[in-house]
Structure 1
Amino acid sequence: MALLSVLWACTRVPEASPDTVASEHEQVEVNPFPPRALPHDWHAFDTRFLHFVSIQVAPEHLDALEHDREQRVPCDISINGVLIHNAGIRQKGGWGSVSTLSGKPGWSLKFDEFVRGQRYRGLDRLLLNNALQDRSLLNEHLAYELYRQAGLAAPRTAHALVVLNGQVYGLYVVREAYDKQTLRGMFGNGSGNLYEGSCCVDFAAPLGSPALLDLKDEQEEGRTREDLEALAAVVEKAPDDALEQKLEALLDVDAYLTSYALEVALAHWDGYSLNLNNYYVYHRPRDGRFVFLPHGMDQLMDRPELDPFQVPRSRLAQRVREHPSLNARFLARLNTVVRAVWNDPAMRARADAVRAVIETAPRDNARVRQELEDFEALFPVQLEQFLGRRVFLEELLQSEP
């Protein structure tokens, strides 16, 4: 029996029909087979193995799954042999990663969408990123680890092979979703306001407003935007001699400066500081201050010689660069990121672990074979881009007065 058929047998959802065709992807027969052995202590973002995900959506829900990017439809899911019945699924992804069912969509899974309290390995949500803009499958995985090494909160990632209605959709990045449970794990309390910024708006004038960000659970829980309005007012109006003190009261300035330094160090041109995109801000309950959370880091190193000192688009970053004390703190953080946090051997080891996992993917499907060819060609190039970026930055910083 081909290994890929074994995979689908290990992850099948018995009650769902395997005959539903969601796209023109190569169809794979699903046959009963015992599940594979996994480490006894495995978890949802385990990086020791390739995760196997099989999803079944009833025919009557396929049109909504194709066209409605807001509401989830019912589905049955098997992840590494764990069955979750009547979960919710919708497509996800911005302009650069959007797709259709006939292509390779990204997915947002919510296990308790229709069954209160339902979980997968303790999670109520999970993201499957299609990596259309990162066929090396490295960017998010390495970047978020660098955030953690710098002492900042960042989502966990792993890798998966995904099937929908018996159709092979290929290799995905498994990513932790920002929700109350994740925020509680990161900060000890997940009840604060969580805002998502979409392209390309700021929370502060002149290129934005707190009203333009998506406040999670705003209507359901009667949340207000007074907290972000207060921070925006400081960014917009505080005089230079009071800016640093006023920001410290509302924003974890050290954490923000570190995240700004990481964005420019990683050549994340499509983030908050440089492009007003791909960012979350969380109002941390324990001290009433905001923190920025990394997001959408799949286009790193597209511009390997990106100038870390270029004029930022975000008003907050602009004020930091214009303020002598804050700018000095930013430069110190950038130096720390490049010279102390960024560890080439550790980064290479983590990348090599990704390659070892991805290369376990079965090769008896045309889509998977093509993605593996792309991965094998792009993996060494992208890894060298990461390592070369650190060298470029170190040389640049040495020339700074």
Structure 2
Amino acid sequence: MLTSDARIPAYHLRCDSRLLDQLNEDVKAHRSIPATLGFHGEFYQIELAYRGAHTRQFAKKSFQITIVPPQLFRGAREFHLNAEFVDPSYMRNKLSFDFFTQIGSFAPQTEHVLLYLNDECLGIYLKIEAVDDRFLAARNLPAGPIYYAVNAHANFSLFRPKTTEAKAALEAGYQRKLGTAADDGDLRELIFRINATPPALFAHVIEKWVDIPQYLRWLAGAVCTQNLDGFLHNYALYRHGENKRFFIIPWDYEATWGRDVNGHVLAPANLRIQGFNTLTARLLDVPVFRAQYVRLLRSILDTTFTVAHLRPHILALHDTLRPFVSLDPYKQDVLATFATEPAFICAFIEERNQFLRQSLEAFEHPRSG
């Protein structure tokens, strides 16, 4: 059996093949099976489940790993193994989350691994930290409710996406990860205030409910990486346990850096500078918040979202992954594309940076009337 060197750890999953067959009978079902995880000679009892939405249909599946108590795995009780099936570089998610961290936003920690299931090599996966109570503790954040935005109804609006039809519930689109039913009431209140507060009062009211600087950093990160799939879902919402303001945390960022959810090329001007969703639109209608966003985005474009800054990290990731790409039985057709991905991503950064700079002046000084 091939094993990886120290730069990419090997994870060994083992489960009853009959249970795995049952799991594969309906890949859309939200169920798990007992399994073990082997790492560096130690073994952990786990619950193994598929994760994702449309990605469950891919030949190479992504997994959710839940450690059976009382064990923890490297400090975690849950984490995700993403197949990165549509990303020929394997690194868009990691590059995105590392970028968010660099600009001062909260984002999951990630690590590439070589995954085996019942001794069969499944190829390179990305281990992604779960956004849960352990995530909060690792960042010295106080306990508070966490919601996953699991579909496009999590648009901070009173209405269903792209319609004038009212939602069945204001919290539609969210799945509570931490907290109680009482916290759902605060989430409903947030969405109501976003939509019902008069413009003259909005800035004063919303500052009590949303951490504005943190939200604008998330917005800048989503805009720079051009994640069209991340404004209405694919994020986590956390309410700070002390100041009671909501934070937004990115999630699922493989459709970025110049490619879409199917891995197809996406031109660098496909996402406008202000992104989209109801909360973002209302925030950027407030001159002081708009000015904060402009200053932040300009600083990021000058310092962090540049080829000079990001290329060394891109090349280092690429060099780390290169020896293991050929082991992936599901992605042999992208081996040639993998070799060209650093240049592709750097070209995207250059062109996206230019597009955002050109957009800044008109955005900063919108026409009146």
Where on the TM-score scale, by shorter chain, does this alignment land: which range? 0.7 to 0.9
User: How far apart are 1:366 and its partner, in Å?
Assistant: 5.2
The number of aligned residues is: 345
Q: 1:62, CA displacement in angstroms?
A: 1.2
Q: CA deviation at 1:298?
A: 0.8
One-letter code of the match for 2:203?
E
In 2, are the aligned partners of 1:168 and 1:367 still within 8 Å (CA)? no
Q: Which residue of 2 aligns with 1:200?
A: 152
Amino acid corresponding to residue 78 of structure 1 in structure 2:
G
Once the two structures are overlaid, the 10-residue window that deviates more, 52-61 or 201-210, is 201-210
Q: Partner of 1:125 in structure 2?
A: 78
How much does 1:325 deviate?
2.9
The equivalent position to 1:235 in structure 2, one of 190, 194, 206, is: 194
Please give the secondary structure, in 2, of the residue aligned with 1:387: helix
Structure 2: give runs of 5+ residues left out of the alignment: 161-166, 259-265
Give 1:167 shift. 2.0
> Aligned to 1:71, which of 31, 37, 43?
31
Report the Cα offset of residue 164 of structure 1.
1.1
Trace 1:3-18 onto structure 2 (pairs within 5 A). 5-7=1-3
Q: Measure how far apart 1:122 and its partner are.
A: 1.5
Separation in structure 2 between the aligned mates of residue 284 and residue 310 of structure 1, nearest angstrom: 25
1:149 aligns with 2:102: yes
Q: How big is the shift at 1:321?
A: 2.9
Structure 1 residues 137 and 388, CA, compared in 2 at 3 Å: closer, same or farther? farther
Instruction: For residue 230 of structure 1, report the CA deviation from its aligned partner.
Output: 2.0
**Aligned partner (choices 279, 282, 305) of residue 319 of structure 1:** 282
Shift in Å, 1:310: 5.9
Change (3 A) 1:373 1:70: same
Structure 1 segments of 4 or more deviating over 3 A? 221-224, 362-374, 398-401
Compute the displacement of 1:187 (Å). Answer: 4.2
Tell me the secondary structure at the aligned position of residue 216 of structure 1: strand
Letter in 2 for 1:59: S
TM-score (norm 1): 0.79
Q: Please tell me the residue identity of whatever aligns with 2:32.
A: R
The residue number in structure 1 matching 2:16 is 58
CA contact (8 A) 2:224 2:305 kept: no
SS in 2 for 1:109: strand
> 1:258: which partner in 2?
217
The answer to whether the aligner puts 1:336 opposite 2:299 as a matched pair is: yes
Match of 2:251 in 1: 295
The correspondence of residues 70-219 of structure 1 with structure 2, limited to 5 A, is 70-79=30-39, 81-95=40-54, 97-99=55-57, 103-112=59-68, 116-189=69-142, 191-201=143-153, 202-207=155-160, 208=167, 209-217=170-178
- Tell me what 1:42 maps to: none
* Structure 1 residue 133, shift from structure 2 partner: 2.4
Residue 281 of structure 1, aligned match among 225, 237, 242: 237
Match of 1:380 in 2: 343
Which of 254, 265, 270 aligns to 1:306? It is 270
Give the C-alpha shift of residue 333 in structure 1. Answer: 2.5
C-alpha distance in 2 between matches for 1:362 and 1:151: 31
Whether the aligned pair in 2 keeps the contact of 1:139 and 1:299 (CA below 8 Å) is yes
After superposition, what is the alpha-carbon deviation per residue over 1:115-164, rounded to whole angstroms, capped at 9, x for unaligned? x2211221211211111221212211221122111111111112122121
Match of 1:360 among 303, 323, 330: 323
What amino acid does structure 1 have at the position aligned with 2:66? K
Shift, 1:206, TM fit: 2.3
CA distance in 2, matches of 1:375, 1:235: 43
CA RMSD of aligned residues (A): 2.4
Q: 1:364 to 1:61 in 2, by over 3 A?
A: closer
CA contact (8 A) 1:271 1:277 kept: yes
Partner SS, residue 394 of structure 1? helix
**Alignment partners' CA distance in 2, 1:214 and 1:284:** 17
Residue by residue, what CA displacement relative to the aligned partner does 1:264-291 show, whole Å, maximum 9, x if unpaired?
222111112xxx1211100111311100
**Identity across aligned pairs (percent)?**
20
Task: Decide whether aligned partners of structure 1 residues 175 and 278 sit closer, same or farther in structure 2, where only a CA change above 3 A counts.
Answer: same
The CA deviation at 1:364 is 6.3
1:89 counterpart SS class: strand
Deviates more, 1:150-159 or 1:337-346: 337-346
Provide closer, same or farther for how the CA distance between residues 85 and 213 of structure 1 changes in structure 2, counting only shifts above 3 A.
same
Inter-partner Cα distance in structure 1 for 2:181 and 2:159:
27
Question: How big is each residue's C-alpha offset from its partner over 1:46-95, in whole Å with a ceiling of 9 and x where there is no partner?
Answer: xxx1121221111231134222642321111123x243332111011122
Letter in 2 for 1:157: T
Scaled by the length of structure 2, the TM-score of the pair is 0.85
| Displacement after TM superposition at 1:324 (Å) | 2.8
Q: Distance in 2 between matches of 1:315 and 1:187?
A: 30
Q: Distance in 2 between matches of 1:311 and 1:161?
A: 35
